[in-house]
Structure 1
Amino acid sequence: MRRMIYGAISALVFTGAVFVMLSFWPIGKKVELTSLKGVPERGAYLARIAGCIACHSNFKEGGAPLAGGVAFKTEFGTFYSPNITTDGELGMGEWSLADFERAVRQGVSPDGEAYYPAFPYPFYAKLSDQDIADLWAAFQTVVPVTQASKLHEVPFPFNLREGLKVWRGLFLDQSSDASVSNKSEQWQRGQYLVEGPGHCGACHTPRNLLGARKTDLALQGADKLPDGSKSPSITAEALQKGGWDKDNLAYAFQTGLIPDGDVFGGSMGEVVRDGMAFLSQEDREAIAIYLLDLRE
């Protein structure tokens, strides 16, 4: 009996020591961007592509733009998008450009905490320095909203943010340059949009038991999305087999209408309504060209 007690105490001490060490494990890196001048118009366009407005605006309940409060229910708990307006106390009003960069591309808060990967920062790692400066300039034009961000409803042990550092070490890939030089400019633009700000793989790639994407099955569809629906495969083979071509795919991205006269359902309908419908025709075609792997 005494041995069991000693064993339990030892396990608790060891676990505590591990979490203490994790709390002092630094994450993120310093990036110097102060010399860049952002263009708000470009940043506003990029914010649409990246889903910032859709995910941080609770329009269904009459919320103000970018004031947060949108719920994302997952098997790990319910996450709420935060207030990212310019409010000095409850939003990003006191942030610096460096704080913004670390949050968006590295998934690290100004306090040094790791963000949950419900925030798709692994995709935003592909944003350029100028992209970050443009986004930041756009967010400076947002009206401040005095509204506190909702606390995530995440049960133990997923509520222990120190564990996210282990998750990052196992699964996070923040490489930014994955261009393919022998492809057309349109194809490469499409790759950037799909793999970067558009974060298509967040919904169209299956995940493992710890919520990390199975990158070897990229864009092959997922059986379980947060809203309980499924996402189809959007590989070139699957799309071509389904009768998609560049024109009808780009048109669907604009209108939500699919070739058989039906419309996109579920979260994809919202993606079109709040994001893709605002893209230029050139960008919608670039996405189609990349997904269909066309040489144009």
Structure 2
Amino acid sequence: MMRRLITVSIVLALVGGAAFWWLTRPDRIDAAALGSHTPNAENGRIVFFASGCASCHVTEGLTDRTRLGGGHGLRSPFGTFYAPNISPHAERGIGRWTEADFVTAMVKGTSPAGDHYYPAFPYTSYQRMTVPDIRDLFAYLKTLPADETANRPHDVGFPFNVRRGLGLWKLAFLDGQPFRPDPARSAEWNRGAYLVEGPGHCAECHSTRDWTGAIAADRRYAGGPNPDGRGWVPNITPHRDGLAEWEAGDIAAFLSDGLTPTGDSTGGTMAAVIRNTSQLPDADRAAMAAYLKSLPQRAGRRPPRS
């Protein structure tokens, strides 16, 4: 009887282990699936600013936002994640990556080596981007200076340092669906929705997260405590606690100069965002504003009194 129980236990363990290994396998995009494409580096430059790449990946200690050696630490309840080098450096950056490697990283969260990326890299939003935009972004990144800054390992403890387990997280929160325009909406609204939900990844910072680290759907865009523990991220829905008093033109202007309708200037991490959105065409900022004003009103947690 005991021998049978041991045998059954071993079989169940093997089956469970095999199921875990299969369910958590990193997904990739085959180069053959991409098809032909003529890279547009100028569009890639717009995508670069819309995606906020420099905000995290600029070389630590430098102000030149074309030097993407990384090193910036992103604190979270799970540990500190350090942005990697995404310059064209052959050894320390992405200089040897293929287009398929880059597209896979952006929409599948998988490295060229076949490892899961942590969702501190906002691929849950970048998966909404069009593949041509991602390919153009890759073309633009290759025009920037190579930076030899070495990548810094993440400071993440057990069990979160077991990357294979991220495959289960992806099963729950990475749906693989690109942005689909709403035919009932205007072209401006759809452009704004694409920029905000995709490359702009605005929800990644302006939403409360649950215990898994995923965005809480009922608090999406409603603000909350900054995940890195410093300050409070504001509500950007049209709720009275958010942007109810802002006109669409106020939001578009804010994305250009960082000034609120009352004349206050933004600071902190949002100042870095404005340095990116200020480089977008006026029409893109107006589109983002139109979309933000159309969001459902959501009440968020109020910041603690200082």
| TM-score normalised according to structure 2 size | 0.85
Q: Which residue of 2 aligns with 1:281?
A: 282
Q: Distance in 1 between matches of 2:18 and 2:50?
A: 37
* Percent identity of paired positions between Structure 1 and Structure 2: 36
The 3 A distance-change label for structure 1 pair 81 and 241 is closer
SS at match of 1:60: coil
Q: 1:70, 1:80 within 8 Å by CA — same for their partners in 2? A: yes
Q: Which residue of 2 aligns with 1:94?
A: 96
**Displacement after TM superposition at 1:23 (Å):** 7.7
Q: Which residue of 1 aligns with 2:21?
A: 22
Q: CA offsets, 1:55-81, max 9 Å, x none?
A: 100353568711111111111111111
Higher mean C-alpha deviation, range 71-80 or range 211-220: 211-220
Q: Distance in 2 between matches of 1:127 and 1:51?
A: 14
Q: CA offsets, 1:142-173, max 9 Å, x none?
A: 22222211110111111110111111112222
Q: Distance in 1 between matches of 2:243 and 2:156?
A: 40
Q: Which residue of 2 aligns with 1:204?
A: 206
Q: 2:60, 2:69 within 8 Å by CA — same for their partners in 1? A: no
The 3 A distance-change label for structure 1 pair 181 and 102 is same
Give the letter for the 2:61 counterpart. K
**Displacement after TM superposition at 1:263 (Å):** 1.4
Q: Distance in 2 between matches of 1:245 and 1:44?
A: 28
Give the letter for the 1:164 counterpart. L
Tell me if 1:191 matches 2:190.
no
SS at match of 2:75: strand
Instruction: Select the residue among 178, 181, 196 that pairs with 2:183.
Output: 181
The 3 A distance-change label for structure 1 pair 188 and 238 is farther
For 1:143-182, list aligned pairs within 5 A.
143-182=145-184
Q: Distance in 1 between matches of 2:143 and 2:250?
A: 36
Q: Which residue of 1 aligns with 2:55?
A: 54
Q: Which residue of 2 aligns with 1:254?
A: 256
Give the letter for the 2:148 counterpart. T
For 1:193-272, list aligned pairs within 5 A.
193-238=195-240, 242-272=244-274
Q: 1:78, 1:152 within 8 Å by CA — same for their partners in 2? A: yes
Q: CA offsets, 1:232-270, max 9 Å, x none?
A: 221133477641001111111111110111112322122
The 3 A distance-change label for structure 1 pair 69 and 19 is farther
Q: 1:206, 1:223 within 8 Å by CA — same for their partners in 2? A: yes
SS at match of 2:74: strand
SS at match of 2:218: helix
Q: 1:59, 1:65 within 8 Å by CA — same for their partners in 2? A: no
Matched length = 286
Q: Which residue of 1 aligns with 2:298?
A: none
Q: Distance in 1 between matches of 2:90 and 2:189?
A: 41
Q: Which residue of 1 aligns with 2:301?
A: none
SS at match of 2:80: strand
Q: Structure 2: 5+ residue runs without aligned partners? A: 1-5, 296-306
Q: Distance in 1 between matches of 2:18 and 2:255?
A: 45
The 3 A distance-change label for structure 1 pair 20 and 285 is same
| TM-score normalised according to structure 1 size | 0.88
Q: Which residue of 2 aligns with 1:4?
A: none
Tell me if 1:292 matches 2:293.
yes
Q: Distance in 1 between matches of 2:243 and 2:91?
A: 52
Q: 2:255, 2:277 within 8 Å by CA — same for their partners in 1? A: yes
Q: Distance in 2 between matches of 1:280 and 1:131?
A: 16
For 1:121-140, list aligned pairs within 5 A.
121-140=123-142
